[in-house]
């Protein structure tokens, strides 16, 4: 490429400013690597410095890569290219993290971190061993005291042993979502004849003819989790959040949105490996914890803003809510029906309702039920273990509407 290590005729000041500008953008959360800085210099050189809007367009074409970043970029550009010092001072005030990139932002103050920092204690390791034993036989039995602790432990402040146990649990909990068949093929022992591979085999050993086959790959679809975090779900949303964090770590395509009175996308927060940090970041981003529920408006908003972006390619929706809607304005049935048309499958995990003899009395539940493919009541859920047990249980007649 002509730009990668070229001689730049634009003067030194401009290049230095671009470097600073890139640092500012980086501080604001844009992924502007050194490659883009070089690109930006080449771009500015190409369009020239005659017109401010050209420079703006050039830098924006190089430095952003999604539409949401545009307003941020525009604001930064407007301020920076008037007075670089001013913006940096502003950013220093607003975002202390850009001054020193070496230090880690917001150290997680969790039990685990403290444990890791303090010298190892014997009892702790003994406890670990016991925990490990428990894990092995978790399915069969889960000693009463351990379970009790997990139930009451705030997930945010678990000790290492408890955390390990919870993690194991989150990994063991099966997914209530079935894989879908893709159109992409993979090598298989039987199926469609793969001429190219067959020919290669023949070329390697001409005396034989061993045909090679491919078959359609089946894999887990994209999973979109819609998590209710309103007051009525208070006891469960944290357990679910841990479960979803486990899912996000295990599967490449999990998107998570929380809703109470508003819809928040927390996918990026949950990408952090450390559940404490991930949940903390999610906590900070979500503003409507334990508030009211406006399922209808939130679903409608999801349909409008996110559905087309997230539900392509046979995506599955995992709906985690009690279905108690306090939305007077919205039309829940309509929004749910719309969602049904866009998603390949909708699985509803409801922690409040039991399946046997369950009568949908709440209007919200009645509106949602006909529009889900699978209805799983995870009754009396207090821990991840319960969630695992509920999901592992044979999916009794899945479709509620079918049993009516």
Partner 1 sequence: MTAAPTLPLPDSVDAVIALLATQSYVCDRRLATALYLSLKLQRPLFLEGEPGVGKTELGKVLAQALDTLLLRVQCYEGLDVAQTAYEWNVARQMMEIRLAEAVHDTDRERLVHTLYSHEMLIERPLLAALTQTQSPVLLIDELDRADEPFDAFLLEVLAEHQITVPELGTIRASAPPITIITSNRTREIHDALKRRCLYHWVDFPSLERELEIVRLKAPGAADRLYLQVVEFVQRMRTLDLFKAPGVAETIDWTNALVALNAMRLDPTTVHDTLGVLLKYQDDIVKLQSGDTAKLLDELRARALLD
- Min CB(96)–partner 1 separation in Å: 26
Tell me how far apart the alpha carbons of residues 210 and 364 are, in angstroms, rounded to a whole number.
59
Q: Whose Cβ is closer to partner 1: residue 73's or residue 243's?
A: 73
- Min CB(342)–partner 1 separation in Å: 11
Pairing of strands 374-377, 345-350: parallel
Cβ(166)–Cβ(385) below 8 Å: no
Residues near partner 1 (CB under 8 A), total:
46
φ, ψ for residue 320 (rounded to 5)? -115, 95
Could you give the 3-state DSSP secondary structure of residue 263? Answer: strand
Q: Does 33 bind partner 1 (CB under 8 A)?
A: yes
Cα–Cα–Cα angle for 157, 159, 161, nearest 5°? 145
- Min CB(312)–partner 1 separation in Å: 4
Cβ(324)–Cβ(234) below 8 Å: no
From 184, 190, 273, 329, residue interacting with partner 1 (rule: CB under 8 A): 184
Q: Whose Cβ is closer to partner 1: residue 48's or residue 96's?
A: 48
Could you give the 3-state DSSP secondary structure of residue 256? Answer: strand
- Min CB(185)–partner 1 separation in Å: 8
Alpha carbon of residue 253 to chain centroid: 8
Which residues fall within 8 angstroms of residue 384, CB to CB, at 6 or more apart? 150, 166, 169, 170, 173, 239, 242, 243
Tell me how far apart the alpha carbons of residues 190 and 305 are, in angstroms, rounded to a whole number.
43
Q: Whose Cβ is closer to partner 1: residue 52's or residue 130's?
A: 52
Q: Does 43 bind partner 1 (CB under 8 A)?
A: yes
Q: Does 86 bind partner 1 (CB under 8 A)?
A: no
Tell me how far apart the alpha carbons of residues 383 and 242 are, in angstroms, rounded to a whole number.
10
Q: Does 1 bind partner 1 (CB under 8 A)?
A: yes
Q: Whose Cβ is closer to partner 1: residue 117's or residue 209's?
A: 209
Q: Does 53 bind partner 1 (CB under 8 A)?
A: yes
Site string for partner 1, 293-322 (x = CB under 8 A): ----------xx---xxx-xx---------
Pairing of strands 316-320, 223-228: parallel
Q: Does 65 bind partner 1 (CB under 8 A)?
A: yes
Could you give the 3-state DSSP secondary structure of residue 48? Answer: coil
Looking only at residues 198 through 257 of this chain, which bind partner 1 when binding is defined by CB under 8 A? 198-200, 202-203, 206, 222
What is the rounded end-to-end Cα distance, in angstroms, of the chain? 66
Of the candidate spans 28-36, 104-112, 271-279, 393-401, the one that interacts with partner 1 by CB under 8 A turns out to be: 28-36
Binding site for partner 1 (CB under 8 A): 1-3, 31, 33, 35-36, 39, 42-43, 46-47, 53-54, 56-58, 60-62, 64-67, 70, 182-185, 195-196, 198-200, 202-203, 206, 222, 303-304, 308-310, 312-313, 338
């Amino acid at each position: 490429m002509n730009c990668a290590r070229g001689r730049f005729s634009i003067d030194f000041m401009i290049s230095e400013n671009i470097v600073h500008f890139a640092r500012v953008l980086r501080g604001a959360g844009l992924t502007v690597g050194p490659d883009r800085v070089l690109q930006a210099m080449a771009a500015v050189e190409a369009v020239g410095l005659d017109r401010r809007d050209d420079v703006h367009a050039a830098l924006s074409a190089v430095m952003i890569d999604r539409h949401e970043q545009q307003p941020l970029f525009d604001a930064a550009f407007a301020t920076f290219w008037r007075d670089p010092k001013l913006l940096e001072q502003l950013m220093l005030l607003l975002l202390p993290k850009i001054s020193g990139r070496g230090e880690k932002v917001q150290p997680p103050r969790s039990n685990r971190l403290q444990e890791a920092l303090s010298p190892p204690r014997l009892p702790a390791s003994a406890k670990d061993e016991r925990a490990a034993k428990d894990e092995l036989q978790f399915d069969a039995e889960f000693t009463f005291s351990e379970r009790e602790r997990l139930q009451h432990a705030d997930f945010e402040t678990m000790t290492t042993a408890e955390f390990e146990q919870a993690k194991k649990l989150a990994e063991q909990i099966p997914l209530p979502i079935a894989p879908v068949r893709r159109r992409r093929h993979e090598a298989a022992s039987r199926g469609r004849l793969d001429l190219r591979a067959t020919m290669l085999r023949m070329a390697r050993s001409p005396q034989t003819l061993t045909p090679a086959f491919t078959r359609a790959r089946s894999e887990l679809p994209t999973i979109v989790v819609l998590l209710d975090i309103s007051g009525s779900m208070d006891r469960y949303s944290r357990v679910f959040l841990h479960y979803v964090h486990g899912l996000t770590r295990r599967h490449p395509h999990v998107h998570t949105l929380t809703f109470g009175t508003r819809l928040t996308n927390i996918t990026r927060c949950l990408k952090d490996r450390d559940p404490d940090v991930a949940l903390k970041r999610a906590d900070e981003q979500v503003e409507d914890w334990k508030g009211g529920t406006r399922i209808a408006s939130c679903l409608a908003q999801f349909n409008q803003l996110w559905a087309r972006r997230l539900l392509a390619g046979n995506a599955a929706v995992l709906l985690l809510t009690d279905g108690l809607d306090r939305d007077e304005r919205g039309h829940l049935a309509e929004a749910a029906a719309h969602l049904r048309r866009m998603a390949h499958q909708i699985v509803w995990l409801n922690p409040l309702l039991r399946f046997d003899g369950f009568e949908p009395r709440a209007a919200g539940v009645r509106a949602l039920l006909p529009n889900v493919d699978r209805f799983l009541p995870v009754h009396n859920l207090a821990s991840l273990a319960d969630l695992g047990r509920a999901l592992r249980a044979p999916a009794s007649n899945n479709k509620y509407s079918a049993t009516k």
